[in-house]
Structure 1
Amino acid sequence: MTKAKNIKDIAKLANVSAATVSRVINQNGRYSKETEQRVKRIIKEHNYIPNMSAKGLRTNQTFVIGVIVPDITNNHFASLVLKLETGLFKHGYSCLICNTNESRELEQKHMKSLSAQNVSGIIVISGMQDYPELNDLPIVYVDRPSKDMRSNRAMIESDNERGGYLATEELIKAGCKQIAILKCLYNDPNQVLRYEGFKRALAAYGIAEDTPLSEDLSEVSFDAAYNKVKSLLDRKANFDSLMCTTDTLAAGAVIALRENGLEVPRDKLVTGFDDCQIAEVCGPGITSVHQDVDEMAKLATRLLLDMINKKELDQLYYKLPVSLTIRSSTTKL
């Protein structure tokens, strides 16, 4: 079978016009469901990939989406980027992924570079600031709040305060009363909200916050958590559990406890946040707050494409619900 090389070949095989094939590819409507299915089947059978460069010249679009991510090695962010890239590719868009290493300066440079390259839109994951100066560029802010809200801006975040409450409540219900918290409040509203949830849960159950056990780290990293827990143990701090505001911090805490002769959950209970792969495999399995990364990616993709295509959005702000994935780290032996 001779492979179809262009839209005209696809149109001939599908017994429709080249214009109809183009509308199916671009999802512009004015075709029947049967026609859409037939055209898509033929495109798939022939492994046909539209010439996006030529299309870009006609429409003044690059069909490239910039994705700003603070730490691509972080399991939560890596999973989100992968799902975004997969979803956007299905709609004919490639991704230009820019890692900022949590640097405000590097984030700014990436944003200017993406704008200069005339990308079709940008998804900013856990950005450190807003970009109102990029007036005409569709932007979706994901995972951290933004004040830059207008018709070509959208915001998606998880219910972080609720997540902090659920993780802390799980420890309290397991009988814990001296609960330490590992957090990193520097320039991260999500961490602040998770801490607020922690405090609300303590208050709801009549437990006073033990300030010496409220540890604020300089960064979200395995080493930072490991060293902080080691410091707590060295000074003989009295705690029966740890609420960690990310799974990375929880993993560092579990390893530090183990290397000092303490096992989870036999000696201490631990919770994390994000419910990524590290929570499944670290130690006995870490109870963690689950963020709906699938829905976050699907929603971000839909909103960005709608803005690119000049469609009016029903709403600009979304707060996604969270849940708690229970594992052995909070089951007292």
Structure 2
Amino acid sequence: MRNQGTINIKKIAQLTGVHPSTVSRALNGSERVKQETREWIEKVAHENGYIPDALAKSLIVGKTYTLGIVVPEISNSFYSHIIQEIEDEVSKKGYSIIIAGTNFQYTSEKRALETMLAKRVDALVLCAPSQELLDESAEKLQKIPLVLCDTIKDEPQYDSVYVDEKSGILNAVRYLKQIGHRRIGFIAEEGITQRRMDIFRNALTECGLEVDHELLCVEPKLSAECGYAGMQKMLRVSAPPTAVMGARDNIAIGAMRAIYEAGLKIPGDISIIGYDDIGIAQYLHSMLTTIKQPAGEIGKNVGELVLKKINSQSKINSISKICLIPELVVRESTAEVSTEKN
């Protein structure tokens, strides 16, 4: 029976008949050790339950083999999917991850960044970072391998993986126009997803539709509360919309609750479109039509990019910008509208 956790490098050296320094190099993946010798040492170490000392290893190789990931919402399935894909990718190279959630708060972002740097993570991933964080912490962020994701901010000095939000929202507006909708509303969170409202406004113009400011709602609340409050306001205008887009799926879900409470039907009275395609979207009473962000592809690309940044030997690295295309997923929450409703 293995005595797990008590065997050390000196004991492995005795069992394999090689010098302790050779064992250390082999277990740290050094190419200075012949492949057959390294495989033999790794086999003996594994069979005897050797557990590497992470602190000692970090002192030897100058790495902690940890990656810091900062996201606005850990519970959001969109971000959790991204995190899972990143972890799957970097774990292949022996890296573990540290996660911090910020609830879209700058003070939490700043605290998370300081914690990650204090733990000496080898690289950082910032998901949907605030402009304030990028501006105020620019000097610190330049000193560590960094990848941004879920952002459309023009930050030329940072590597990023992002989704073409313009094409996603434009396709959604075109689809709604095609099935007869002319009065289309949009609900966004103040400061957080407000950029998507700007894209939506431009999409209306590009599609030849009128921009009605009564149907553009920005709420200081987050997620479903934002959608609920925004939809209640839209239902009180003299000519309510026949279709509404939420800047996120959770916003759309909150809007759906307000519509049902008003005694209206989805999509019979009002069609609803979300953005993200979170897991619950296809299990709602009226399955949600949404703009699907490729979360898995985002995470995989981020993981690959982070490893590339960590392993780069050049002090002057080229900046990578990876743009992914979202997909309109049509489900039950949208339908054609009769001409008299417009």
What's the TM-score, normalizing by structure 1? 0.82
For 1:138, the equivalent position in structure 2 comes to 145
The answer on whether the counterparts of 1:168 and 1:243 sit within 8 Å (CA) in structure 2 is no
| Alignment match, 1:230 | 232
Aligned partner letter, 2:267: P
* Deviation (angstroms), 1:203: 2.3
Looking at structure 2, the residues matched to 282 and 96 of structure 1 have their Cα atoms a distance apart, in angstroms, of 32
Instruction: Summarize the Cα distance change of 1:45–1:234 in structure 2 as closer, same or farther, 3 Å threshold.
Output: farther
| Letter of the structure 1 residue corresponding to residue 235 of structure 2 | L
Deviations 1:41-78 (A, max 9, x none): 99999987654333212012112211111122222222
Kept in 1, the 8 Å contact 2:214–2:237? The answer is: no
**1:164 pairs with 164, 169, 179, which one?**
169
1:288-327 to 2 correspondences below 5 Å: 288-311=290-313, 315-327=319-331
Change (3 A) 1:251 1:44: farther
Give the residue type in structure 2 aligned to 1:305.
L
Partners of 1:222 and 1:248 within 8 A in 2: yes
Identify the residue that residue 184 of structure 1 maps to in structure 2: 189
CA contact (8 A) 1:213 1:237 kept: no
User: Which SS does the other structure have where 2:167 is aligned?
Assistant: helix
The residue type paired with residue 147 of structure 2 is: V
Q: Residues 2 and 285 (structure 1 numbering): CA distance in 2 closer, same or farther, change over 3 Å? A: same
**Paired AA for residue 159 in structure 2:** A
Q: 1:29 to 1:306 in 2, by over 3 A?
A: farther
Q: What are the residue-to-residue correspondences of 1:48-67 with 2, within 5 Å?
A: 50-67=52-69
Structure 2: give runs of 5+ residues left out of the alignment: 17-21, 338-342
- 2:293, 2:263 → 1: CA distance? 32
Q: Determine what percentage of the aligned residue pairs are the same residue.
A: 25
- The change in CA–CA distance for 1:310 and 1:176 in structure 2 (over 3 A counts) is same
1:180 positional shift: 0.8
1:264 Cα offset (Å): 1.2
Change over 3 Å in CA distance of 1:239–1:122 after alignment to 2: same
Q: TM-score, length-normalised on structure 2?
A: 0.80
Q: Which SS does the other structure have where 2:231 is aligned? A: helix
RMSD (Å), alpha carbons: 3.3
Q: Which amino acid aligns with 1:330?
A: T
Count of residues in Structure 1 that have an aligned counterpart in Structure 2: 320
The Cα of 1:268 is off from its aligned counterpart by 1.1
Q: Counterparts of 1:45 and 1:171 in 2: how far apart (Å)?
A: 62
The answer (yes or no) to whether the contact 1:170–1:330 under 8 Å persists in 2 is: no
Q: In the superposition, relative to structure 1, how do residues 2 and 251 fare at CA in structure 2: closer, same or farther (>3 Å)?
A: same
How much has 1:237 moved relative to structure 2? 4.0
Deviation at 1:225, TM superposition (A): 0.9
Alpha-carbon distance in 2 for matches of 1:261, 1:245: 24
In structure 1, the partner of 2:253 is: 251
Relative to structure 1, the CA distance from residue 124 to residue 35 in structure 2 (aligned partners, 3 Å threshold; closer, same or farther) is farther
- More off after superposition, 82-91 vs 323-332: 82-91
Letter in 2 for 1:144: T
Structure 2 residue aligned with 1:107: 109
Instruction: Tell me, yes or no, if structure 1 residue 173 matches structure 2 residue 173.
Output: no
Query: Which string of whole-angstrom CA distances, capped at 9 and with x for unpartnered residues, describes residues 203-223 of structure 1?
Result: 233211111111112133101
Q: Which residue of 2 aligns with 1:124?
A: 126
Contact 2:187–2:246 under 8 Å retained in 1: yes
